[in-house]
Amino acid sequence: MAKGMKVTKAAKSPSKAMKAMKAAMKVTKKKAPTKITPAKPKDPSTFKPVLATHVGSLPRPAWMVPIVRGDEAPPADYKQKLHEATVAVMKKQLDAGLHEINDGELSRKDYVSEARKRMTGFGGLGQAAPAADLVEMKDFSKKLEGRKGLLTLTEKTEVKTASCDAPITYTAEGLADLQEEMDRVKAAAQELGIPLTRVFFTSPSPGTLATFFSNDYYETHEKFIEALANAMKTEYHAISAAGFKLQCDCPDLGMGRHTRFSKCTIPEFREAAKCHVKNMNAALAGLDPARVRMHVCWGNYPGPHHHDIPLADIADIVVQAFPQYISVEACNPGHAHEHEVWASFKVPEDKVFMPGVVDTTTSHIEHPRLVAQRLEAYARTFGTKRVIACTDCGFGTAAGANNLTEDIVWQKMKTMVTGAKSVGKKTEKASVCWMLYDQPKAVLEASAVGA
Ligand SMILES: [Zn+2]
């Protein structure tokens, strides 16, 4: 812009000025991103209440944590107890008013290890990639000592992970293990009378597996991703064939940048992200995109996150992914402003957004009006039909490494549903917050009079 102004001032006649301006605009046009076609904001009077779901992992019952972490042998009646816990956690989601639910990934140690165990090729030992923000903020990261999740959060708490040292294939035993997990979730859904069309089932993307597990075998990163995608295709198709809505977890597209790819430039990371999406798409080919969700995030740990790659740098790659439903962090302090990004370029019309409207790393419970405002920000671009309320990330990314306690988790689910239902409604005289809690009658009456 400044350049254009200069050119105009220097021109001697109006026609020369016009020519110069045109030339300047040409230059500006060349530099501007080609995809910008500002979306027409939707009319707020057309807003409707929206549905709600969550990202996937939930806190495991305390008795289950040492078992799923492999520190304790399962009891003889584990299968029955796990079934009861699955029914209980699915019922809690229904009681909270969620539309699409899952089993909270109860039986898993974390969201990537089960899938990795179902494949050959991971006999080596590697080191989990540290997060660049925590490497820099050492005083803060000390607070996370001993919290063994999937990431190396401090130098003292190193996390060892499997690495690839041989060809990757999805095994028959792995498929049987997946079948057992799916059968358990199916049985619980049937017991509750919930159709599988409302049940989602998560699985890591090829790029996410490569973010956590290093490669000591394949010649290039591309070949590693291709092999992972070829193997994981079996899992994705089995989940879909069982009747679930498949969710591919893709923190590789966000968090991958400041962990595994922290030494790369942004263009180099974008190339890797494109390769991850291309191979995930190949593995998902043949499925119905309307039955596939994806989850994009920058890592579910309560860190400063000041090295997170901006959504603007990856959004065009994210929308090239196969799934119709896109869950993305959209409410924490580093990413809440990024709803603007989607309005600034052409998003394929079939995409449905599941923005995070409650933060999974802070105990502060969001006001339902704030939840509604966050959803309305998305609805202005896409309309409420293309928006579903969601959490920023999981509430139990790794068993026993929860950011929040269960009591807060369920209150957050409730505030999310209350806020989602109030989209399109005029603000009530009494705050919608009252709908969340059992307030004494006298308080409600006083509030109504005072309003
Ligand atoms: Zn996440």
> What are the Cα distances from residue 114, in Å, to 94, 105, 162, 315?
26, 10, 12, 29
- 293 alpha carbon – ligand 1 mean position (Å): 13
- 230 alpha carbon – ligand 1 mean position (Å): 23
Cβ–Cβ < 8 Å for 284, 330: no
Tokens of 14: 């109006």
> In angstroms, how far is CA 356 from the centroid of its own chain?
8
- 252 alpha carbon – ligand 1 mean position (Å): 10
- 297 alpha carbon – ligand 1 mean position (Å): 4
Q: Which of 34-43, 320-329, 371-380 has the lowest mean pLDDT?
A: 34-43
- 115 alpha carbon – ligand 1 mean position (Å): 16
- 405 alpha carbon – ligand 1 mean position (Å): 18
- 114 alpha carbon – ligand 1 mean position (Å): 17
- 439 alpha carbon – ligand 1 mean position (Å): 34
pLDDT digits (tens, 9 = 90+) for 4-35: 333 333 333 444 444 544 444 444 444 444 55
- Residue 401 is predicted with a pLDDT of 83
- 299 alpha carbon – ligand 1 mean position (Å): 6
- 295 alpha carbon – ligand 1 mean position (Å): 6
- 298 alpha carbon – ligand 1 mean position (Å): 7
pLDDT band at 240 (very low <50, low <70, confident <90, very high): very high
- 360 alpha carbon – ligand 1 mean position (Å): 9
Specify the CATH class of 45-111+167-450 in words.
Answer: alpha beta
- Residue 156 is predicted with a pLDDT of 73
Helix, strand, coil percentages, rounded to 5, for the chain: 50, 10, 40
- Residue 444 is predicted with a pLDDT of 59
- Residue 152 is predicted with a pLDDT of 75
Cβ–Cβ < 8 Å for 418, 81: no
pLDDT digits (tens, 9 = 90+) for 306-317: 999 999 999 999
- 410 alpha carbon – ligand 1 mean position (Å): 18
Q: Is the pLDDT of residue 149 over 80?
A: no
Question: φ, ψ for residue 283 (rounded to 5)?
Answer: -70, -25
- 397 alpha carbon – ligand 1 mean position (Å): 8
Cβ–Cβ < 8 Å for 393, 383: no
pLDDT band at 443 (very low <50, low <70, confident <90, very high): low
- Residue 128 is predicted with a pLDDT of 86
Provide the residue ranges of all domains of the chain, joining segments of one domain with +.
45-111+167-450
Percentage of the chain modeled with pLDDT above 90: 73
> What are the Cα distances from residue 26, in Å, to 6, 31, 33, 187?
15, 9, 13, 62
Q: Please give the average per-residue pLDDT across 206-214, as a whole number.
A: 96
- Residue 41 is predicted with a pLDDT of 86
Cβ–Cβ < 8 Å for 186, 196: yes
Q: Please give the average per-residue pLDDT across 36-59, as a whole number.
A: 88
Question: Mean pLDDT score of the chain, rounded to an integer?
Answer: 88
Q: Is the pLDDT of residue 332 over 70?
A: yes
Q: Is the pLDDT of residue 391 over 60?
A: yes
- 354 alpha carbon – ligand 1 mean position (Å): 12
Tokens of 231: 């193997």
- 445 alpha carbon – ligand 1 mean position (Å): 41
- 133 alpha carbon – ligand 1 mean position (Å): 17
Q: Is the pLDDT of residue 232 over 70?
A: yes
Compute the distance between CA of residue 94 and CA of residue 192 in angstroms, rounded to an integer. Answer: 9
Q: Please give the average per-residue pLDDT across 198-217, as a whole number.
A: 97
Cβ–Cβ < 8 Å for 50, 423: yes
- 110 alpha carbon – ligand 1 mean position (Å): 12
- Residue 438 is predicted with a pLDDT of 63
- 257 alpha carbon – ligand 1 mean position (Å): 14
